[in-house]
Chain A
Amino acid sequence: MNWSSWLIWGFASTVVLTSILAGSQGIGMTRMNIPYMLGTIFTPDRDRAKFLGFFLHFGNGFAFSLIYVAAFQSLGRSTWWFGALIGLVQALFVLTMLLPILPALHPRMANEQRGPTVVKQLEPPGFLGLHYGIRTPISIIIAHVIFGAILGAFYTMK
């Protein structure tokens, strides 16, 4: 395991991932604001939630890059397309598994069957995150594929 390479490229790929997701919201591709979604797990304050959520998401991305690196090491290869492939698998997992079950995990997220309550008022993402805009899955896939490709291309094996 090349720790210094992971530190550099894990950080760089997470910066790119975060920027793509924020940028895709900025250009109207999706309404999804991941820092806000994560931050509201801990606070209803919109500004604080975004601040907190940014660090959470960034830390999350950094931690996930370790799993990518572990995969590269275990298979003995680190190429851009292999990283992109892992990114695609992760994006599909997020879209099909994680987002639909988020209302059960998030203390402030409403449930489609029961509707909003005084405590749970946040709109759930729905299948593939489509409630947040029909191009939400595209932005998530693009961001994760590029995240994996950067790691795969620049991480140097030891």
Chain B
Amino acid sequence: MSAEVPKIQDYAIIGNGRSAALVSNRGAIDWLCWPRFDSAAIFAAILDPKIGGHWSVRPAQQSNTSRRYIDNTNVLETEFVTASGKIVVTDFMPVTSEEKKRRLLWPEHELVRQIRCQEGEIETMVDFRPRLDYGRTAPNIKNCGKLGWKIDFGTGAFILVSEIELDCFKQSSLGEAAACEALLCKVVLKAGQSVAFSFSYSAEAPAVVPPPGASIAEKLKLTIDWWRSWAGQSKYRGPYQRQVTRSALVLKLLSYGPSGAIVAAPTTSLPEAPGGDLNWDYRFAWLRDAASTVHALFGLGYQDDAKAFVDWLLHATRLTRPELRILYDVFGERAMPERQLSHLSGFAGSRPVRIGNAASGQLQLDVYGEVVEAVSHFIGENEKLDHEMQKMLRQCAEFVCEHWCEPDNGMWEYRDKRRPYTHSRLMCWVALDRILQMNARGQLRKVHTKRCEAERARIREQIEREAWNAKLETYVQAFGGEHVDANALLLTYHGFADASSPRMRQTHARIREKLSRRRGLVYRNERSLELREGAFALCSFWEVDFLARSGRLEEAREIFEAALDFANDVDLFAEEIDPETGDALGNFPQAFTHLGVITAALSLRDAEASAVHLARQSA
């Protein structure tokens, strides 16, 4: 095991549908925000190893590490093998059904770490070093005797219950009066022995103080059962089953249970370019992910989760309609304003560290198409639309007809200036197209059909005229532009252009020529090459989808497998991949990328099934 600072791909995620923690393959929890995804971090070593705070559990000796999720769960096992023995650290946040919770006293938020010695004898070190408010405040950890260790902070209390004695670490210069800032211990475990810790957060009193011992084992069993039961609801049977299941489990971890929102990632400011300033806070829900989220959840058979997400979508957008914000917090409120945390050094020195996201104030016209398509997926061809949904769709139609030709910030959220992005126009076309389809099926009434049809035709005509660059023989990023953008592949995904059309074939060839430097990796556009960003992982799965729709199935599989090789050892993806080193870049794990895995797998499965069907018919 390397002694260096962990890379992004060295992390794995655990969570409970309220918040998430990142656990490194060194056995350290380096990121945890409680009580919500966008709350202040209590462990933030991933953004500053010195002052961010961490909770590490590892052997005192040099060790080799491997890890895995227990099959079809989000329970993580990290195995440390040393010259003298082997320990397994099991990390999870307890979850179970609401019905079972009603019969049990469980903390509002809990993280459990269990260390089991499986072979030999190992001296294990525990270093519990929380830092409040993104490392700005050293805690005063109070010894509450048999009720564990407690940290009061603001309106909440953190409680650590340990099965072994812990020693208080104080700043030596301040003497006995100094506050206890960390808890440390060394324990020798022999084969068959185990110790466990429960760390919990309560916003109200009386807090639940979990008892050590048997209750931990019961929670582990309930948690494994719950995740397996959830994973077992998937109806997906097709290629890359393991990766699709893991992607679904990641999506579930990133969904906020009480509202149904899905955050883009559980982290902030993991850099898109090493050492650079492309560091953003992704702990919010983007409307952009709406259509692919509903498509993926439905495609896998998670109707309840899709419904919860659409309910959140309707709730979140209610107050601002007909205008839609780009992103919302988990309860549908405006995301916090963007600020910089200058006291943190950033991941691998990548500064600034930002919290909040200024993209919330941008104009991004594509979100209308995303929302309308999400609803269209959700209701299918036979379901009825209720009054509220019909009203929202009519408002979207009017807004799109009025504003589609305005320049905007586009899906990549460029902050320099607004441009007439092709993708934004495409999604406006999608909005009107799906609204007209729902109207034709009798699902949506009182639509200005003639106006919508006229504007839809105008958008198509403009895309074909202004977005097509005859010299480069490709659809370009913005009208009249010369830059290639991988999102042009979505013209096929959204049904605007046929994958086998000459223009799409030429566009794909140009994307591969200009944006793919390594098999399985695609940059989002030429600008990202200039900015030294990594390849955008989602774009690889767009290419797979495109190839599957083109009928180039073997090639689709090749690209899919090449792209999947860039996942980490537990099948997790960040936003981007460094084409030279293969390192993960950007926030981690990323919902958008995992949605891409699922969407591409669904397309490939369907395309392969069609091919088999056709082959049988011709035989």
Q: Give A residues with C-beta under 8 Å from B.
A: 25, 28, 30-33, 36-37, 40, 43-46, 48, 108-110, 112-118, 121-125, 131-134
Contact = CB atoms under 8 A, between A and B. Distances in A.
Contact of A31 (B156, B161, B208): B156
B205 A48 contact: no
B214 A118 contact: yes
A101 to B, nearest CB: 15
A115 B102 CA distance: 23
Interface string B198-215: 000011111111110011
B105 A108 contact: yes
B105 A36 contact: no
Contact of B208 (A33, A45, A123, A132): A123
Contacts of A121: 105, 208-211
A36 B207 CA distance: 10
A40 B106 CA distance: 12
A30 B206 CA distance: 11
Interface string B90-105: 0000000000011111
Given A44-B102, A108-B105, A114-B146, 19 more contacts: A25-B204, A31-B155, A31-B157, A31-B207, A37-B205, A45-B101, A46-B101, A110-B147, A112-B147, A113-B146, A115-B145, A115-B147, A115-B211, A118-B214, A123-B147, A123-B207, A125-B205, A132-B205, A134-B152
Contacts of A124: 147, 206
Contacts of A117: 211
Nearest to B152: A133
Nearest to B211: A116
12 contacts: A25-B155, A33-B205, A33-B206, A45-B102, A48-B102, A115-B209, A116-B147, A116-B161, A122-B105, A122-B207, A124-B147, A132-B205
A134 B146 CA distance: 20
Contacts of B203: 31
A114 to B, nearest CB: 6
A109 B206 CA distance: 8
Interface in B125-183: 144-147, 152, 154-157, 159, 161
Contacts of B211: 115-118, 121
Residue among B147, B155, B159 facing the most chain A CB atoms (10 A cut-off): B147
A46 B202 CA distance: 12
Task: Determine which residue in B206, B208, B209 has the highest number of CB atoms from chain A within 10 A of its CB, and name it.
Answer: B206
Contacts of B102: 43-45, 48
B207 A44 contact: no
Contacts of A116: 146-147, 161, 209-211
A120 to B, nearest CB: 8
Interface of B: 101-105, 144-147, 152, 154-157, 159, 161, 202-211, 214-215
Most buried by B among A25, A31, A112, A114: A31
A28 B211 CA distance: 27
A46 B109 CA distance: 13
A85 to B, nearest CB: 28
Interface of A is mostly: loop
Contact of B206 (A36, A48, A118, A134): A36
A28 B105 CA distance: 23
Contacts, number: 90
Contacts of A48: 102
A123 B144 CA distance: 10
A117 B209 CA distance: 9
B100 to A, nearest CB: 11
Given A28-B154, A45-B102, A123 B215 contact: no
A134 B157 CA distance: 12
Contact of A115 (B146, B204, B215): B146
Contacts of A46: 101
A25 B202 CA distance: 13
B147 A37 contact: no
Contact of A36 (B154, B204, B210, B214): B204
A123 B154 contact: no
A123 B205 contact: yes
Contacts of B207: 31, 122-123
B94 to A, nearest CB: 13
B104 A31 contact: no
Given A116-B210, A122-B208, A123-B205, A44 B156 contact: no
Which residue of A30, A32, A44, A114 has the most chain B CB atoms within 10 A of its CB atom?
A44
Contacts of A131: 144, 205
Contacts of A125: 205-206
Contacts of B156: 31
B270 to A, nearest CB: 31
Closest 7 CB pairs of A and B: A115-B146, A132-B205, A28-B155, A31-B205, A45-B102, A116-B211, A122-B206
A44 B105 contact: yes
B591 to A, nearest CB: 28
A31 B147 contact: no
Nearest to B156: A31
A25 B204 CA distance: 8
Contacts of A132: 205-206
A17 B157 CA distance: 25
Contacts of A32: 204-206
A110 B209 contact: yes
Nearest to A44: B105
B103 to A, nearest CB: 6
The interface centre, meaning the residue of A108, A133, A134 with most chain B CB atoms within 10 A of its CB, is A133
B206 A123 contact: yes
B257 to A, nearest CB: 14
Contacts of B146: 112-116
Given A31-B155, A110-B147, A116-B161, A44 B104 contact: yes
A105 to B, nearest CB: 13
Nearest to A27: B155
A133 B206 CA distance: 11
Contact of A37 (B101, B157, B206): B206
Contacts of B206: 32-33, 36-37, 40, 109, 122-125, 132
Nearest to A47: B102
A7 B595 CA distance: 60
Contacts of A31: 155-157, 202-205, 207
Nearest to B145: A112
Contacts of B159: 123
Q: Could you say which of A40, A43, A123 has the most chain B C-beta atoms within 10 Å of its C-beta?
A: A123
A56 to B, nearest CB: 15
A25 to B, nearest CB: 7
